[in-house]
Amino acid sequence: MGKSLPVLHSPGTPASQSAFPSNVTRFDSPATRGSDNPYDGRTVDDFKPYLVALNLTKRCNLKCDHCYLDATTKLGGGNDELTTEECYRLIDQIAEVNRGCLLVITGGEPLVRPDILDIARHAVKLGFMVVFGTNGMLIDDPMAKELVDIGVMGVGISIDSLDPEKHNAFRGLAKAWEGALAGIEACKRNGLQFQIHFSAQPMNYQELPKVVDWAHDLGAKVLNVFFMVCTGRGEELSDITPSQYEEVLGYLVDCQDKYNDMLVRARCAPHFKRLAYEKDPNSPITKAQGYMGGGCLAGTNYARVTPNGDLTPCPYMPLSAGNVRDKSFVDLWERSDIFDSFRYPHLKGKCGDCEYSEICGGCRARPYVDHGDWLDEDEWCLYTPKGGDKVEVAFNVPEATSVVWDEAAETRLNRIPYFLRAMVKKGVERHAVERNLSVVTIELMEELRKKRFGNETPVFKF
């Protein structure tokens, strides 16, 4: 694990599969599948970007051990970054494919980039949901207020340990902990929603139960626990072992029942869904497809743009489909063999054989970083497939119901990303049946949204 890889560029768009590295497993393309072979029922409309990470700068005010961008210090690293105008153009192009998607503006530390608020403003005006991934140190009251005024939905602030000394040592700066906490308090004072991000590593994974309680007491609505793929500066770190990984995921599955008002999710550990299914086949985690359920959306509904404009399937994969300076985001998203390989994969090894491949599928970055074949099995999963039927994904399983949706409610339902739609639909219908209501209306949806999230906006608006 953790070999140093240059950004690998796609040989062309469109390109023939023969141009791929020879060890990469073959995959179908829409052309080879044919319209009479619908695979799993998904259509091109299901391959919209719902989550795009914009790594808009390498610059950072910290020097974290695990940074996948190998972010340079505050003063350097800005020369080849997309300009303000290029960022606007990129965002306009993303809007051509799906302006309802969630844009995560991050870096490096995004708030050190002087034009970052203008870029966020541009995206919000176009209708995007915008959040920032930040270390929190540059968020004071005026900054938090400005982010709220712009319409930014929230910020994700990273915490690596509840021990300030450990956090500061890892982040490479004294007072990083105090800065992050001050940032969180500024968010709270100014009504800016915040999530806590925690990267599970050998040095801190045993702290997780305390971190979950701490985040809950702090008022976080979401705790995202990331499982690092060792790239960038993180190549020098060792990952947690597969059995530690399994232990942490099991704990996170148990957390689902414990905290009703805070989502606790594993990120970049798709077999979180397999563990959830083993515990309860009707678990909301397994019904929620992709990111919200803790699965992997890389290349299917998720992409990342690097500071100089390369489009990759996710932040941990330095595998470029092309550069947005040379081609439009729309072209790269819709007509790249790299992206098709994630949408119609023939997974190798145990991931290919596994009953859970439809709801999990493994992390594609781990085999890529390890030996270049992103469609190979995920060796960080301990499961041995048993050869049973494939566990189906929720969006392919229609459920009989006596409840009908009026037109306005149905329109709103259809605006919800498909990987959340089945879960939301089922929850609303169950509620309607419990209250003897035969029709779902906008008012009922709004009432349930408020019940779930208070007056705050949920992670995905609906």
Piece of 114-122, 217-225, 294-302, 454-462 that binds ligand SF4 (CB under 6 A): 294-302
Of the two residues 396 and 411, which places its CB atom closer to ligand SF4 in the complex?
396
Contacts of 166 (CB under 8 A, 6+ apart): 160, 203, 204
CA nearest to 53, candidates 304, 296, 288, 240: 304
Would you count residue 354 as binding ligand SF4 (CB under 6 A)?
Answer: yes
Residue 271 C-beta: closest distance to ligand SF4, Å: 4
Binding ligand SF4 (rule: CB under 6 A), the pick from 216, 364, 421, 425 is: 364
Piece of 116-124, 254-262, 360-368, 398-406 that binds ligand SF4 (CB under 6 A): 360-368
Angle between helices 242-258 and 208-218 (to 10 degrees): 30
Residue 189, Cβ neighbours under 10 Å: how many?
12
Binding ligand SF4 (rule: CB under 6 A), the pick from 64, 157, 252, 268 is: 268
Determine which helix (DSSP H) or strand (DSSP E) holds 170, and give its type and residue range.
helix 164-171
Would you count residue 296 as binding ligand SF4 (CB under 6 A)?
Answer: yes
Site residues (CB under 6 A) for ligand SF4, limited to 334-353: 350-351
* Distance (Å) of CA 132 to CA 8, 160, 240, 270, 296: 27, 18, 27, 23, 20
Binding ligand SF4 (rule: CB under 6 A), the pick from 24, 56, 215, 298 is: 298
Residue 73, Cβ neighbours under 10 Å: how many?
15
Helices (H) and strands (E) counted in the chain, each on its own, are 17, 13
Binding ligand SF4 (rule: CB under 6 A), the pick from 263, 360, 369, 409 is: 360
Residue 365 C-beta: closest distance to ligand SF4, Å: 4
Residue with structure tokens 């985690």?
A: 285
Binding ligand SF4 (rule: CB under 6 A), the pick from 339, 344, 356, 395 is: 356
Question: Under rule CB under 6 A, how many of the chain's residues touch ligand SF4?
Answer: 27
Of the two residues 276 and 409, which places its CB atom closer to ligand SF4 in the complex?
276
Binding ligand SF4 (rule: CB under 6 A), the pick from 77, 270, 307, 322 is: 270
Piece of 111-119, 129-137, 172-180, 362-370 that binds ligand SF4 (CB under 6 A): 362-370
Would you count residue 305 as binding ligand SF4 (CB under 6 A)?
Answer: no
* Distance (Å) of CA 409 to CA 89, 326, 403, 462: 33, 41, 12, 10
Binding ligand SF4 (rule: CB under 6 A), the pick from 310, 340, 378, 429 is: 378
Binding ligand SF4 (rule: CB under 6 A), the pick from 305, 314, 423, 459 is: 314
Give the C-alpha separation, 84 to 178, whole Å: 31
Angle between helices 164-171 and 176-190 (to 10 degrees): 100
Residue 10 C-beta: closest distance to ligand SF4, Å: 17
Binding ligand SF4 (rule: CB under 6 A), the pick from 177, 277, 383, 395 is: 383
Would you count residue 255 as binding ligand SF4 (CB under 6 A)?
Answer: no
Site residues (CB under 6 A) for ligand SF4, limited to 7-36: none
Give the C-alpha separation, 298 to 289, whole Å: 13
Residue 188 C-beta: closest distance to ligand SF4, Å: 29
Say if CB 190 and CB 145 are below 8 A apart. yes
Determine which helix (DSSP H) or strand (DSSP E) holds 226, and give its type and residue range.
strand 222-227
Across 99-181, where does the E strand assignment appear?
102-106, 129-134, 154-158
Site string for ligand SF4, 80-119 (x = CB under 6 A): ----------------------------------------
Say if CB 112 and CB 57 are below 8 A apart. yes
Would you count residue 271 as binding ligand SF4 (CB under 6 A)?
Answer: yes
Contacts of 50 (CB under 8 A, 6+ apart): 98, 100, 101, 102, 290, 291, 297, 301, 302, 417, 419
Would you count residue 279 as binding ligand SF4 (CB under 6 A)?
Answer: no
Site residues (CB under 6 A) for ligand SF4, limited to 200-229: 229
Binding site for ligand SF4 (CB under 6 A): 229, 268, 270-271, 274, 296, 298, 302, 314, 316-317, 350-351, 354, 356-357, 360-365, 377-378, 381, 383, 385
